[in-house]
Amino acid sequence: MNILIVGAGAVGQVYGWHLHEAGHEVVFFVKEKYRAEVASGLALHRLGYGSTRRQDWPQVTAISDVADVAARRWDQVWLTLASDALRGELAAQVLAAVGDATVVCLQPDLEDGAYVRTKLRSPAQLVQGLITFISYQSPLPGQPGPAGIAYYLPPLAPGLFAGEPARVQAVVRALQAGGLAARVVPDFAQAAAAAPALLQPLIAALELNGWKLGTLPGNEALTLGLAAAREALAVAEREAGAGTLALRQLLRPALWRLIVPLSRKLLPLDLETYLHYHFSKVSVQTRLMLDTYIRVGQRHGLTVAALQRLRAALP
């Protein structure tokens, strides 16, 4: 297949590598200032416990002109931008140029899928996916590590994808053939909307706590974040039919005295540094998502007071 990856950051490179490993022709669409750097080759590092596997990609094709997008026929187009960049003019131009390609939307905002559908020839072109791996530009600030993109694939956490059957099955098969776990779910919103609803308010709470993970349990910022997460989960449940029961068990403040230290020990990376680095880069997306939960919650007549307090507290 001919596959276009829009964006060559940490997420785009991981998906691109595994699709390349499956034997597909992968091209990156990037801004002109990044094109030569991407085309010069990429280095990825798959993190494990006690070992890191280097994956070199010496010959990479990168384009930066929308006319080059329109000039080719694409089987799949993967959108690996943040939610705010997705709504920009350049992304709209690319979407207008992809023809009838399957478009894979990976953005986490509750309204991202609906937005992308409005930019396509047919709503059936859309496949939505939930990212379940961690990836970042290595080394993290102040940390040792190889130069390139480092990523960690949690066990028993396949990416979730939904869409028109033939299109979504082609997406999942391509990832599986390249060594990346993925599975089809019948209803994306129902299966995947709850996780971002829990995560984003907690990321905002961590930001309010100065990105200090160790002091988050018992802090007022966590109390506010958990209250906001409860409201966001209610919004996801009402708007998207998301199943939230399992994640609601994580809303007990005392539980986080166990979750924080355990999560820091279970991952082969410095979790606090990663969270600070990554979510500072996508802070606009965090705020956009909180705004969405507030707006959609108000439309449904749900309580969003904690979400509003959390949003107002962010700089």
Asked which of 11-20, 72-81, 245-254 is least confident by mean pLDDT, the reply is 245-254
| Mean pLDDT value of segment 52-62 | 97
Token pair for residue 144? 């040792």
Model confidence at 50: pLDDT above 90? no
| Mean pLDDT value of segment 179-186 | 98
Token pair for residue 159? 């990416």
Q: Which fold has domain 2-186?
A: Rossmann fold (3.40.50)
Token pair for residue 230? 């409860």
Distance of CA 62 to the CA centre of its chain: 22
pLDDT in the model for residue 90? 97
Model confidence at 147: pLDDT above 90? yes
Query: Which pLDDT tens digit goes with each residue over 87-101?
Result: 999 999 999 999 999
Question: Nearest Cα to 301, choosing from 226, 223, 239?
Answer: 239
Token pair for residue 157? 């956490």
Reduced to 3 states (helix: H, G, I; strand: E, B; else coil), residue 267 is coil
pLDDT in the model for residue 243? 87
Quote the CA–CA distance of 132 and 136 in Å, as a whole number: 13
Tokens 């080059």 correspond to 68
pTM over 0.75: yes
| Mean pLDDT value of segment 253-261 | 92
Of the chain, the percentage scoring pLDDT greater than 70 comes to 100
pLDDT in the model for residue 49? 87
pLDDT in the model for residue 164? 98
Q: Are strands 159-163 and 182-184 parallel, antiparallel or unpaired?
A: parallel
Burial classification of residue 67, based on how many CB atoms lie within 10 Å of its CB (0-12 exposed, 13-18 middle, 19 or more buried): exposed
Q: Where are the domains of the chain?
A: 2-186, 193-313
Token pair for residue 12? 């785009």
Query: Which pLDDT tens digit goes with each residue over 198-256?
Result: 999 999 999 999 999 999 999 999 999 999 999 999 999 999 999 898 899 999 999 99
Tokens 């600030």 correspond to 141
| Mean pLDDT value of segment 45-73 | 96
Query: Which pLDDT tens digit goes with each residue over 115-145?
Result: 999 999 999 999 999 999 999 999 999 999 9
User: Going edge to edge, which strands form the sheet with 159-163?
Assistant: 61-63, 25-29, 2-6, 76-79, 102-105, 126-130, 159-163, 182-184
